[in-house]
């Protein structure tokens, strides 16, 4: 009688009985360590421990320990289940190894999901073919031949449609734009809101433009959002040919520098384009600000050009007629304690002009050269915190004034901007000095206003936590 230790099945049985618990303990510790590190490999290791290793041990016991033939149905069933589990493990392992946690901007991160789906389908098809061929003895060669012939026929029949899809998929793989980017294409300009394997959806502001990816792949377009923070708006304006070019460029740059959409730290530039035209380049924070920045800039330079005596579009400003100036002096007369003689005297030094809504009239820290009296509209006074944040102080309207420190030649503590279109009457410092010399009470009123404005600024900053 053959001793048990001389039987081959004995060593297989002992090896499985000892090796299986050791491998289970080792894989358990490895999975716990990977889980603590939030590694994507924790799930594949768990599948090896819970499914692959027990099924492999069972298969060894059936074939080697109990010597069941490989063609037996129980062995084939266990082998098939093990093959399916290994197939799932391969898919999970590839996903965890190559695509989970892929670096931003790498080809693994840019790979479209449809490519992953096709790759998974190919791996599953090949895996099933191997399982049915080697375990069940099925003839899969004929099936692959039929599929190949069918693919060729379909490819020739649908070559135009398939070519468009492939072009779109290649565009997705390259990823020249992402969700939220602003693009300028031959047929649409707007923000990308959705990208799939067939088409790109662009929000143009007046609707949603659905553009096939194959069209974008064959066309030239501009991604306005790349490089990040490098978008510049270019605006063309036209002035009178006799207007001094340096004065026009300074005006355009000054107005552009006050735009709220201007990129922090950037400086706008303006250059002569010829024939009375000027090109102004305005660095913006985002392409999304371009439309609002352009409309605000064009609106503000209309007012600024008239205040500076420049002819935007070649048109002279005829707003400040003597009649309007006279009426404006009557409106501010109670504030300045003017009589008829005083109004006649101030006519030579008064200047009537306008500011557009949200336009800056006075900046904090500025030393005014004239006092500004509000004839029509509203002006909001603001203070600036240490961190640059703007804090509202109060709103003044017709009959009130700003720039009162023009007489003391001190910087103003509050800024001012127009709430809506504002008409103001500006009086030069020299004429105001002559007026207050004749009217000591007016000087006291102005001094009291300076103190009140300073108190208002201090209270506003204290309430804002500065």
Task: Say if residues 289 and 283 touch (Cβ distance below 8 Å).
Answer: no
- 15 contact partners, CB below 8 Å, separation of at least 6: none
Please return the burial class of 202, using the count of CB atoms within 10 Å of its CB with bins 0-12, 13-18 and 19+.
buried
Do 255 and 385 fall into the same domain?
no
**Residues 407 and 347 occupy one common structural domain:** yes
Residues 200, 266, single domain; the answer is: no
Shared domain for 250 and 383, answered yes or no, is no
- What is the tally of structural domains in the chain? 4
For residue 366, what are the contacts with CB-CB under 8 A and spacing of at least 6? 411, 412, 415
- For 277-322, the three-class secondary structure string (H helix, E strand, C coil) is EEEEEEEECCHHHHHHHHHHHHHHHHHHHHHHCCCECCCCCCCCCH
Does residue 154 belong to any structural domain of this protein?
A: no
d(CA 304, CA 246): 15
Write down the pLDDT at residue 115.
63
**211 and 243 inside one domain:** no
Any idea what the CATH number is for the domain that residue 344 is in? 2.60.120.10
| pLDDT tens-digit profile, the chain (466 residues) | 455 555 666 777 777 788 888 888 888 888 888 888 877 778 888 888 888 888 888 878 777 767 777 778 887 888 888 888 888 888 777 776 666 655 565 555 555 565 666 677 777 777 777 877 777 776 666 655 656 655 665 555 545 555 566 666 677 667 788 888 888 888 888 888 887 777 888 998 888 888 887 788 778 888 888 777 678 899 999 999 899 999 999 999 999 999 999 998 899 999 999 888 999 999 998 888 888 999 999 999 999 999 999 999 888 888 888 888 888 888 888 888 888 888 888 887 889 999 999 999 998 888 998 999 999 999 999 998 888 788 999 999 988 999 888 888 889 889 999 999 999 999 988 888 888 888 888 888 888 988 998 898 899 888 877 6
- Do 342 and 459 lie in one domain? The reply is yes
The answer to whether residues 215 and 247 belong to one domain is: no
CA-based radius of gyration for the chain: 40
Are 249 and 186 members of one domain? no
The residue segments making up the domain with residue 206 are: 171-223
CA–CA distances in Å: residue 135 to residues 62, 73, 81 = 15, 10, 11
Both tokens of 270, joined, read 């303006």
Tokens found for residue 451: 């103190």
Supply the pLDDT for residue 89.
Answer: 80
- Residue pointed to by tokens 């800039």: 297
What CATH number did the domain enclosing 205 receive? 2.30.30.60
Q: What pTM did the predictor assign? A: 0.64
- 188 inside domain: yes
Q: Are residues 24 and 70 in the same domain?
A: yes
In this structure, the answer to whether residues 338 and 255 fall within a common structural domain is no
């Amino acid at each position: 009688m053959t001793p048990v230790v001389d039987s081959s099945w004995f060593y297989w049985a002992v090896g499985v009985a000892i090796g299986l618990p050791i491998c289970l303990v080792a894989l358990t510790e490895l999975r716990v360590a990977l889980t603590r590190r939030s590694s994507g490999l924790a799930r594949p290791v768990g599948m090896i421990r819970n499914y692959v290793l027990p099924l492999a041990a069972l298969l060894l016991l059936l074939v080697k320990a109990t010597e069941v033939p490989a063609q037996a149905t129980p062995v084939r069933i266990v082998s098939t289940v093990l093959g399916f589990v290994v197939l799932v493990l391969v898919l999970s392992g590839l996903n965890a190894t190559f695509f989970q946690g892929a670096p931003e901007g790498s080809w693994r991160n840019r790979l479209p999901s449809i490519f992953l789906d096709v790759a998974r389908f190919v791996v599953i098809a090949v895996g099933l073919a191997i399982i049915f061929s080697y375990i069940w003895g099925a003839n899969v060669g004929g099936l692959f031949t039929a599929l190949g012939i069918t693919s060729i026929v379909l490819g020739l029949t649908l070559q135009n449609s398939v070519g468009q899809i492939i072009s779109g998929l290649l565009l997705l793989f390259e990823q020249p734009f992402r969700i939220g980017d602003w693009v300028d294409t031959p047929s649409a300009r707007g923000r990308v809101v959705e990208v799939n394997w067939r088409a790109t959806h662009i929000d143009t502001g007046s609707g949603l433009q659905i553009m096939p990816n194959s069209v974008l792949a064959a066309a030239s377009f501009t991604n306005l959002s790349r490089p990040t923070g490098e978008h510049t708006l270019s605006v063309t304006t036209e002035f009178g040919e006799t207007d001094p070019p340096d004065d026009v460029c300074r005006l355009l740059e000054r107005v552009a520098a006050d735009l709220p959409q201007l990129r922090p730290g950037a400086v706008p530039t303006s250059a002569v384009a010829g024939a009375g035209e000027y090109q102004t380049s305005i660095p913006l924070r985002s392409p999304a600000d371009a439309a609002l920045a352009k409309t605000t800039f064009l609106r503000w330079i209309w007012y600024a050009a008239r205040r500076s005596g420049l002819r935007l579009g070649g048109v002279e400003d005829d707003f400040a007629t003597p009649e309007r100036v006279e009426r404006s002096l009557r409106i501010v007369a109670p504030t300045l304690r003017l009589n008829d003689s005083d109004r006649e005297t101030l006519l030579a030094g008064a200047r009537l002009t306008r500011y557009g809504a949200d336009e800056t009239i006075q900046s904090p820290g500025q030393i005014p050269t004239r006092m500004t009296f509000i004839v029509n509209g509203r002006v909001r006074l603001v203070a600036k915190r240490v961190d640059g944040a703007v804090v509202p102080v109060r709103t003044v309207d017709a009959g009130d004034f700003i720039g009162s420190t023009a007489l003391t030649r001190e910087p103003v503590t509050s800024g001012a901007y127009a709430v809506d279109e504002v008409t103001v009457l500006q009086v030069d410092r020299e004429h105001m000095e002559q007026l207050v010399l004749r009217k000591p009470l007016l000087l006291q009123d102005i001094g009291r206003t300076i103190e009140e404005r300073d108190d208002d600024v201090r209270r506003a900053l204290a309430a804002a936590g500065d």
